[in-house]
Amino acid sequence: DASRPIDRDAWHRRADELAAQGQRVLSFATKAAEDGKRELAFDDVSNGATMLGLLGFIDPPREEAIEAVRDCQSAGIRVVMITGDHAVTAREIARQLGLAEAPKVLTGQDLQSLDEAGLRAAVSETAVFARTTPEHKLRLVEALQAEGLTVAMTGDGVNDAPALKRADVGVAMGEKGTEAAKEAAEMVLADDNFASIVAAVREGRTVYDNLMKVIAWTLPTNGGEAMTIVTAIALGLALPITPVQILWINMITAVALGLTLAFEPTEPGTMRRPPRPADQPIFTGELLWKVGFVSALFVAGAFGMFFWAEERGLPIETARTMVVNTIVVMEVSYLFSVRFVHGTSLTMQGVLGTPAVLIGLGLVVIGQLVFTYVPFMQAVFGTRSVSLTDGLVIVAVGVALLIVLELEKRVRRFLGTR
């Protein structure tokens, strides 16, 4: 009945009921146009229309999106929703996604009344921002950054471009995103799937971990070799290893062992660790301690083997061959230890290794057998054959090193949790 006045409160309640179910609500009305009218202006429909009804429609969160939000939260990544939707709708969708059990919501109008200090306080405790404009989105990104946070912003429209540009990492949608959003962003999400961002975080953490493993393996092993030579020269002792033998160690282990760390899979618990600080240097105190500690163990192992061979009256060539093999075995043991930075290596997965590690280990074993027993190599590198008993002792040194390193890991983790 067009003459019947509309009950605004009743229709608002119905719209809120639909919005509270996570539905976006459209209102439909009709108005007869004047005869002959060919153009419409906003003023023509500002009054006199007959309310027909409301239509609610919903795009429920995908299961992979809900799981991705859980993964983000366990990884120490806070997810915030910034939307142009109605506040009630946004709150329900946020609840379904798992952003919070009872998400706190602020609207663009609320943001408009806040100064910069108030906004910074609000962003730390609010999960949903509704009815926002491009200006609001930009202010929110800046407020989060002002709190010392690294901000990744996703968006697909032209109105998202300023915030995408300002964020530390702007992520545009590849399928539905506008060209303006893609130009402003640093990354384009090809499948428009939030779960792909979480997968990228997991892959990024894996790459960073593997980079640190390569550095943490390379520096101490080279440091141990260098300190062995320097110590011998400083104390006026016979060199336990010759320069050409060091060249052999670096040539075979750097290729066969060091490169295998680049192919390490994601460690267990990678997505349950908080993000590292953005300003954290590569050479941390922990890494420097590891370089010094492991280098000292290598020096002790090399000189211990050398002195033990000398005490038994073995030729210096044989003693040096045993030292070379000892260093290589210790490098293999340290490789197995450094593969798991955030956990123990004394597990079935840690002992068995990956295909890349097993191939590298096989190449090292073959290379050391050739180095030790083939006459041509003995002539080139000044080596001698090693007995089976001495070989078992060398292997035992490597096992002892692995045990010491795992104990050191455990002590460090214990002290770190106190």
CA dihedral 9, 14, 17, 18 (to 10 degrees): -140
Mean pLDDT, the chain, integer: 88
Report the pLDDT averaged over residues 336-340.
87
Q: Rounded CA gap, 101 and 94, in Å?
A: 9
| R_g of the chain, CA atoms, integer Å | 33
The model's confidence at residue 230, banded by pLDDT at 50, 70 and 90, is very high
Residue 3 — very low, low, confident or very high, per pLDDT cuts 50/70/90? low
Distance in angstroms (rounded) separating the CA atoms of residues 321 and 330: 14
- Lowest pLDDT segment from 38-42, 103-107, 151-155, 228-232: 38-42
Which tens digit of pLDDT belongs to each residue from 119-147?
A: 999 998 899 999 899 999 999 999 999 99
Give the pLDDT of residue 1: 54
**Residue 418 pLDDT > 60:** no
286-320 residue pLDDT tens: 899 999 999 999 999 999 999 999 999 999 999 99
Number of helical (H) and strand (E) elements in the chain, helices listed first: 16, 8
Place of tokens 């035992």: 396
Q: Which of 198-212, 231-245, 271-285, 315-329 has the lowest mean pLDDT?
A: 271-285
Q: Quick one: three-class SS letters along 330-356?
A: HHHHHHHHHCCCCCCCCCHHHHHCCHH
Q: Tell me the percentage of the chain whose pLDDT exceeds 90.
A: 51
pLDDT digits (tens, 9 = 90+) for 35-76: 777 788 888 787 778 888 888 777 777 888 889 999 999 999
Q: Note the pLDDT of residue 334.
A: 92
- Contact indicator for 326, 391 with CB cutoff of 8 Å: no
Write down the pLDDT at residue 412.
Answer: 82
Per-domain residue ranges for the chain?
1-29+47-58, 63-198, 203-415
Per-residue model confidence (pLDDT) at position 14: 82
> CB–CB of 311/317 below 8 Å?
no
**CATH code of the region 203-415:** 1.20.1110.10
Q: Residue 130 belongs to what H/E stretch?
A: strand 128-130
Name the CATH code of domain 63-198 (choices 3.30.1180.20, 3.40.50.620, 3.40.50.1000, 2.170.8.10): 3.40.50.1000
Residue 184 contacts residue 157 (beta carbons within 8 Å): no
Q: How many percent of the chain have pLDDT more than 70?
A: 98
Q: Edge-to-edge strands of the sheet including 105-107?
A: 81-82, 128-130, 105-107
Summarize pLDDT for 339-369 with one digit per residue, the tens. Answer: 887 777 777 666 777 888 889 999 999 999 9
The token pair that represents 153 in the structure block: 């912003």
> Following CA atoms 222, 226, 231, 237 in sequence, which dihedral angle do they give, to the nearest 10 degrees?
110
Cα(295)–Cα(234) distance, integer angstroms: 17
pLDDT over 70 (residue 416)? no
Cα 283 from chain centroid? 18
Q: Of 23-27, 189-193, 247-251, 275-279, where does mean pLDDT reach its minimum?
A: 23-27
- pLDDT at residue 207 tops 70: yes
pLDDT score of 31: 82
In the predicted structure, residue 394 carries a pLDDT above the cut 80: yes
Q: Is the pLDDT of residue 2 over 70?
A: no
- In this prediction the pTM is 0.80
Q: Specify the pLDDT at position 409.
A: 86
